Amino acid sequence: MSYVTTKQLTKSFGDNTVFENVDFTIDQGEFITLLGPSGCGKSTLLRSLAGLNPVDQGEIWVNGENITHQSPQERGIGMVFQSYALFPNMTVESNIAFGLKMKKVLSDEVTKLVSNVIELVDLKGKEKQYPHQLSGGQRQRVALARALVVKPRILLLDEPLSALDAKIRKHLRQQIRDIQKEMNLTTIFVTHDQEEAMIMSDRIFLMNQGEIVQAGSPEEIYTQPANEFVAGFMGHYNLIDSSGAKALLDLDTPNKVAIRPESIYVKEEGRQYAQHISSPRQGVIKSHQLLGNIIRYQVAVEECELTVDLLNRSSERLIPEGSSLELLFNLNEIQPVGAQNDTTFVCL
């Protein structure tokens, strides 16, 4: 049986319908990421689950209980925001203990629970410090500890890593995932960063304009995008219309197709290719971007401009702009995608 269920959840601010009839289920212990562009309704949905934004219609169920009209305190949900929201005049310890004191937990018990959670989030030695004496990463760990200490049924995290620099971000996301697994804590994490979503999640709910357009494992969403929006948002897919598909792939299809940049290869002389590799097409390099271990080329082929990712091997030199080359397509990696009109196409 699912642990969290929403039924026909709907929320507007005045004339602005943020989401409508949102239905999903989440299992106990699952790590779900709400992923989508800025403004698509992620925070509003999360706040609705927490009881901070009342919904207009629909129901929220947790563990067989209808919590739609419960106050935030009654729900047993912990929340962490991007902005930490710590009390500046309280020490780390007092910030973490605050929720327990509100619940009138006995003082000995508070001391024990706070000390356990401080250990869990790796803040030992910082108990007596104030928020302004901590780094961003440490402050966010205090916020996480404060949410965890009350043993929530569900943990909600709204872009908790967005204000942190890349190194701390990577470390903390691993730490969050480890703690979540250890506690088997049902978690909904919000981000607009697809890499973060791919790395952390059991399942991703990809949102666009208030709708969950695809729900699935990171692998499913990456390799089988349900539509053009998903293909465009995940993995820099090339979207090719039916005339492009004919010209490039000799494929007769009424639909558009999507192919990832790493599924297009540059033909190497003398090498034998398998059946599922297309015949070569002549292209010209338009530009490139260096992305660390890969080089991302824009290549003009037939009437299309394609994104092609090649490994940045030290033994190979950069292919100069204006060079001609022959491209091959991995036909096993071509995904048909249905029509949706909110994406720009590479093939006109």
Considering beta carbons, is residue 2 or 162 the nearer one to Mg ion? 162
Q: Which residue is nearest to Mg ion (CB)?
A: 43
Buried b / exposed e over 70-102, threshold 16 CB at 10 Å, is eeeeebbbbbbbbebebeeeebbbbbbbbbbee
| Binding stretches for Mg ion (CB under 5 A) | 43
User: With CB cut-offs between 5 and 8 Å by kind, which of Mg ion, ligand ADP, none does residue 18 bind?
Assistant: ligand ADP
User: CA-CA distance, 182 to 339, in Å (whole number)?
Assistant: 42
User: With CB cut-offs between 5 and 8 Å by kind, which of Mg ion, ligand ADP, none does residue 44 bind?
Assistant: ligand ADP
CB of 74 to ligand ADP, least distance (A): 22
Considering beta carbons, is residue 43 or 140 the nearer one to Mg ion? 43
Considering beta carbons, is residue 33 or 43 the nearer one to Mg ion? 43
CB of 212 to Mg ion, least distance (A): 15
Q: Are 225 and 216 in contact (CB under 8 A)?
A: no
CB of 18 to Mg ion, least distance (A): 11
| Binding stretches for ligand ADP (CB under 6 A) | 13, 16, 18, 36, 38-44
Considering beta carbons, is residue 45 or 155 the nearer one to ligand ADP? 45
Read off φ and ψ for residue 205, nearest 5 degrees: -105, 105
CB of 32 to ligand ADP, least distance (A): 15
Instruction: Give the DSSP letter string of 64-103.
Output: TEE-TTS-HHHHTEEEE-TT----TTS-HHHHHHHHHHHT
Amino acid at residue number 302 = E
The two structure tokens encoding residue 180 = 């979540």
Query: In degrees, to the nearest 5, what angle opens at C-alpha 192 toward C-alphas 186 and 193?
Result: 90
The two structure tokens encoding residue 183 = 């506690």
Compute and round to an integer the Cα radius of gyration of the chain.
24
CB of 143 to ligand ADP, least distance (A): 18
Considering beta carbons, is residue 13 or 87 the nearer one to ligand ADP? 13
User: With CB cut-offs between 5 and 8 Å by kind, which of ligand ADP, Mg ion, none does residue 87 bind?
Assistant: none
User: With CB cut-offs between 5 and 8 Å by kind, which of ligand ADP, Mg ion, none does residue 75 bind?
Assistant: none
Considering beta carbons, is residue 110 or 206 the nearer one to Mg ion? 206
